[in-house]
Structure 1
Amino acid sequence: MNFVDAISICFKKYVDFSGRARRAEYWYWTLFTVVVSICTSILDAVIFQNNMWSPLNAVFNIAILLPSIAVMVRRLHDTDRSGWWALISLIPIVGWIVLVIWMIGKGTDGPNRFGNDPLAGEQTAPAPVAAA
């Protein structure tokens, strides 16, 4: 999975809270949101020249709110945890650290109660040996 694939999957599954998300999908999405947030903040500062008002950044953050929650829930599903564990992020510092550790961790191998392993379909077959 590459950067563009991960972003398109997250937008396609805008409010899909079922299934599983690979680490690459989650972290590429996080990278995308951070980079675009920085860009919209810079644009707001240049265009509006007022640090108290950031309409471009606000619109972007509202637009990505649901897909960000959805990919977090699907990532938790990949680690065989309920999506309700996302609420642990409401606990300052400790909750964030626990959540980041879970997001970094490897998903469960094979199917779990939330669906099939997203990595299972990507295993490549060995290349055929050419006959001489």
Structure 2
Amino acid sequence: MSFADAVHTCLVSKYATFSGRARRSEYWWFSVLYLVGTLLLVGVSVAVGELLLNVLLVFLIVPMLAVSVRRLHDTGRSGWRMLIALIPVVGPVLYLVGMAVGSAPGANRYGPSPKAAD
């Protein structure tokens, strides 16, 4: 999945869809957009104010959570596993490793493999 496809999928097609599965490329490309957008607006908000940053974060938090849950579903894990990131020090590392793991082969309880659809 390309950057443009991932952004379109997360912001238009599946903005608040927490069911189904998401490939690694969809998750990581959208994470890049989220990180770059946040960093750019942090710089702008220092000069202008925090309102613009807050609006972006409110707008992007729902699709970021949704694609994270779908990514966990793709690996065969529950979306609640995302809460592991709240454990100090070790949690964020375990969360990132979980997001980098390959897809579960074939269909699982969350739906058919997105690789098979391509």
TM-score, structure 1 normalization: 0.84
Give the structure 1 partner of residue 51 of structure 2. Answer: 55
Q: How does 1:109-124 map to 2 (within 5 A)?
A: 109-122=105-118
- The answer to whether the aligner puts 1:89 opposite 2:85 as a matched pair is yes
Residues 27-36 or 91-100, more deviating: 91-100
Where structure 1 has 5 or more consecutive residues not aligned to the other structure, the ranges are 49-53, 123-132
Give the structure 1 partner of residue 47 of structure 2. Answer: 46
Distance 1:72 1:60 in 2: 18
Q: How many residues align?
A: 117
Give the structure 2 partner of residue 8 of structure 1. Answer: 8
SS of aligned partner of 1:9? helix
RMSD: 1.0
Kindly provide the amino acid, as one letter, of the partner of residue 45 in structure 1.
V
Q: Deviations over 1:66-94 (max 9, x none)?
A: 11111100000000001110111111221
Q: Deviations over 1:2-27 (max 9, x none)?
A: 00100110112111110000000000
Give the structure 2 partner of residue 75 of structure 1. Answer: 71
Distance 1:72 1:26 in 2: 7
Report which of the two structures shows the higher radius of gyration computed on alpha carbons.
1
Where structure 2 has 5 or more consecutive residues not aligned to the other structure, the ranges are none
SS of aligned partner of 2:114? coil
Q: Deviations over 1:25-59 (max 9, x none)?
A: 000010000111111112122334xxxxx211111
Identity across aligned pairs (percent)? 41
Give the structure 1 partner of residue 102 of structure 2. Answer: 106
